[in-house]
Amino acid sequence: MKRNLLFLMLMVVLFPLTMNADEIMVGTATGDKNVAPFVNSYPNSWLEMVYTAEEIGQACTIANISFQHVMGASFATNDLRIYLAETTKSVLANKSDWTPESELTLVYSGANVVIGDEEWESFQLDTPFEYSGEKNLAVVVAKTAGGMNMTLTWACYDAANSVMFTASDTDPSFAQYPTASALAIYGKKPVMKLSDGEESEGGEEEGEAEGNEEDDEPATLAAPTNLRATIRQDVEGFGYKFEITMAWDAVEGADGYDVYVNTATVQDYQMGYTNGTAYVAGSNTEGTLEFYVIAFNDETESVPSEPYTITIVDDAVEEMTASFNVYPNPVNDRLYIETEAEVKEVVVYDVYGRHQVTETPSHQGNMTVDVRNLSNGVYFVKVVTENGEAVKRFIKK
């Protein structure tokens, strides 16, 4: 990941200053991932992790558990729970090797918990847990949320067969104790911090460091501008039907750019990042999507750019566009469609691909579509004829 080097350097420099006598650091970060501990890629999840007695190193009263946030925007959960249990297993033997429900102790439960808004995501336990130090520790995190956020990543280290989870896009029951096998067993375990009290607010030394950070506040980055896109179809050697090249102007001081898309089904999905000013993606289907870009460097990131809308249309569809016209544009109430072909269906949809109006003509030739009930904005009208389909953009005012 792009900020790994900076993150690892900061970890080495800052940990000696922020470690308290009552804190136990478990694991040394070697990277960051978005799976554990919160399974950001699914709204509903149950995840179990096993930390060995050797990793923890001592008996303790656990009153606070923290995981280190590396990058990505925060998001809110509907319900979040943490369970702990001592266990004899040091790894997860198979996808059914869940710690028995009867052995789990619910130590934290919260509603509308925002995760990813602090460097350390800390949970003050409702019930402190007495850890003997003799057995290993199973940590379970269960959650439901209104959506997902794959951009969030957490500091982790390599530990084979130490994490497993089950999850669902739509079924909240997947945030309850599993009755089936896990989706996957994973080998990247989150760095964890345990303490026997509330998180320290920081002493004089930490306060001084914060003051210096304010004095050396990083320069801001401008948001990328002049977003644009080109689409090529059936490019030899490219793995998709449509090759989509998204581009923008360079931002002074930026080391790279995160690229996000919005579609009818996914919002704020991170496609990836690039050190240049263009990003290539592929698609096998027609449709509409919106992309935006955030510039970043090792110190800061910009606000998101203004979004740019891309409409993907088959070349065969474009060939008949010349014989299809819509007016007036912009339109207030009725959109007139003029074509020499026999119209079979007319569909109006918004920039996210959601259908707004569907008309089936009762006669051949020109027709009108009532758009009075549409909100002001940009729309697309798709006309289906005996010669194929065509799409045109219009504005409702």
SS3 259: strand
Domains of the chain and any CATH numbers: 4-214 (no CATH), 228-312 (2.60.40.10), 315-396 (2.60.40.3080)
What is the per-residue pLDDT across 212-229, written as a single tens digit (0 to 9) for each? 444 555 578 999 999 998
pLDDT of res. 387:
65
What's the CA angle centered on 309, arms 308 and 315, to 5 degrees? Answer: 130
Question: Confidence class of residue 262 from pLDDT cuts 50, 70 and 90?
Answer: confident
What is the per-residue pLDDT across 12-47, written as a single tens digit (0 to 9) for each? 333 333 344 478 999 999 888 878 899 887 888 999
Question: Confidence class of residue 153 from pLDDT cuts 50, 70 and 90?
Answer: confident
pLDDT of res. 8:
37
- The pTM score is 0.50
CB 97 within 8 A of CB 50: no
Question: Confidence class of residue 352 from pLDDT cuts 50, 70 and 90?
Answer: low
- Single-letter amino acid, residue 299: E
Q: Averaged over 91-108, what is the pLDDT?
A: 95
- List phi, psi (to 5°) of 175: -95, 5
| pLDDT over threshold 50, residue 2 | no
Q: Which two structure tokens, joined as six digits, stand for 39?
A: 């399974």
pLDDT of res. 381:
86
Nearest to 210 by CA among 25, 14, 66, 23: 14
- List phi, psi (to 5°) of 18: -105, -10
| pLDDT over threshold 80, residue 251 | yes
* HSE (side-chain half, CA atoms, 13 Å) at 319: 5
What does the alpha-carbon distance between residue 370 and residue 357 come to, in Å, rounded to a whole number? 8
Question: Confidence class of residue 319 from pLDDT cuts 50, 70 and 90?
Answer: very low
pLDDT of res. 286:
79
Distance of alpha carbon 384 from the chain centroid = 36
- Single-letter amino acid, residue 367: M
pLDDT of res. 192:
96
pLDDT of res. 210:
44
What does the alpha-carbon distance between residue 15 and residue 8 come to, in Å, rounded to a whole number? 10
Instruction: Output 181 or 152, whichever has higher pLDDT.
Output: 181
What's the chain's average pLDDT?
A: 82
Q: Which of 110-114, 204-208, 293-297 has the lowest mean pLDDT?
A: 204-208
